[in-house]
Every structure is written in C-alpha cells, then in structure tokens.
Homo-oligomer: A and B are copies of this chain.
C-alpha cells in the first residue's frame, strides 16, 4: 500500500517522467536500470530519483537497481493509472479534434468519451474519432450521466471560465485547461494549465537574453 503523506508536485511530475522512460526502456528490451541511468535519461540527479521513490518506500535493490517492469507497475499504482479515466473535451476546434483522435491518450487509460461545442454546425455530428458532439448547454447533465472524471477545455480564452463553471456544476473535479487564460474554480476542483504560448515566450526570452534558469 502506498503512503499518502504530502508529496511535492515536482515529485509527482518526475514520477510521470520516470514512468515514461521506464516504458521506453522496456520497449528497448531492458529489464533492470540503475538510478544513475534512469536519472540521466530523465535529466535529474540520481539522488533526486532515490529521494522521489523514497517517498513511497524504496523500490530498488542495492547494486542491482530497479526492475523496469515492476517499477512501472508501482508508479502506475501511485499515479492511479491502473484505472480508465473518462474525459470530456469542450471546444472541438483544431486542438480539441486532435486530442479526441489522439491514440496516446487512450493507450494510457484516458478515454475521451464526450465532446462538446456550441457551434450549431458541429453539434449532433460525430467527431472524426466517432464521439458525438453535444451542445455545451447539456454539459452538466451529460458529464454526470457519462461519469466523466476530467474535463478538458480547448475553447478560446473568452469561453473558458464559463465552461469551467459548467464542469463544476456537473461535479467534475479535475480540469485540464488548454485555453490561454487562468480559470477560477472552488477548492474541491483541481486545475492543470497547459499553455503553449507561455513556453514559446520562455524560449524567445531565453534566445534573446540567454538566461532564465
């Protein structure tokens, strides 16, 4: 059983990265990996790897390292990736459509089961992934009926807060926000933001000034 003391978010982020690299190692035929090699692959220090995994009880064997398949399974349990999570995507434009078609989401247990838009030309039609597009007004009822676990917002900034409010009304307590704005939700709801242009802005700053670490 996994301990559930307060874990830094950076550790959770790195666990996800370790898991990804362990998948790639397994794919390449490796069965064991040292903390040094895993650290190098993930661009962190070996001490960091050991510390992160130490939060959950150490998993490695001294002098042997980690079992590539076993450690994956343990991280999957920690991150709760052993179940299927139902996602609803709102805003079926370029990005929303791409996410609905994404095989890598489904492969990782993230199942896009619902799609919403407000454009009458789109509502009622299936997406290219075969999910029917519903009117966003139906969202609070539909997400409850379909047992949606997470909402994904890919609308323009101007619609994002309204959509977030609809998810909260539908008792969806986790939101992945791709829209280029902050959204405000009650404490019971979790939000992760993904804003491409912030990353581009960081690159332009660093290209120009050569700093920011």
CB distance from A113 to the nearest CB of B (A): 15
Partner of A12, one of B79, B98, B202: B202
Instruction: Select one of B16, B21, B110 contacting A202, CB under 8 A.
Output: B16
Measured CB to CB, the closest approach of chain B to A127, in angstroms, equals 11
A186 at the interface (CB under 8 A from B): no
Q: Is A48 an interface residue (CB 8 A)?
A: no
Q: Per-residue 0/1 for A170-201: is the Cβ within 8 Å of any B Cβ (1 yes, 0 no)? A: 00011010001110100000101011111111
A residues 135-162 touching B (CB-CB < 8 Å) = 149-150, 157
Interface residue ranges of A27-75 to B (CB < 8 Å): 41-43
Shortest beta-carbon distance from A91 to chain B in Å: 12
Integer count of this chain's copies in the complex: 2
- Interface presence of A20 (CB below 8 A): yes
Contacting pair A199 B176 (CB below 8 A) = yes
Q: A99: which B residues are within 8 A, CB to CB?
A: 94, 196
Given A9-B213, A108-B200, A174-B207 contact (CB < 8 Å): yes
Tally of contact residues, A, Cβ under 8 A? 67
Q: Give the complex CA separation of A192 and B98 in angstroms.
A: 21
Which residues of the partner chain B approach A85 to less than 8 Å between Cβ atoms?
Answer: 200, 204
Nearest chain B CB to A35 CB, angstrom units: 16
Q: Check A194 against B203 for contact (C-beta < 8 Å).
A: no
Contact partner, A98, options B11, B98, B108, Cβ 8 Å? B98
User: B207–A80 contact, CB under 8 A?
Assistant: yes
Give the B-binding residues of A (Cβ under 8 A): 4-9, 11-13, 15-17, 19-21, 24, 41-43, 78-81, 85, 94-95, 97-99, 101-102, 104-105, 108, 110, 149-150, 157, 173-174, 176, 180-182, 184, 190, 192, 194-213
20 A–B contacts from the bound complex (CB under 8 Å): A6-B211, A6-B213, A7-B211, A9-B212, A12-B212, A13-B198, A16-B197, A20-B195, A20-B197, A41-B182, A80-B208, A94-B99, A94-B101, A94-B102, A99-B196, A105-B197, A150-B203, A176-B196, A190-B203, A194-B196
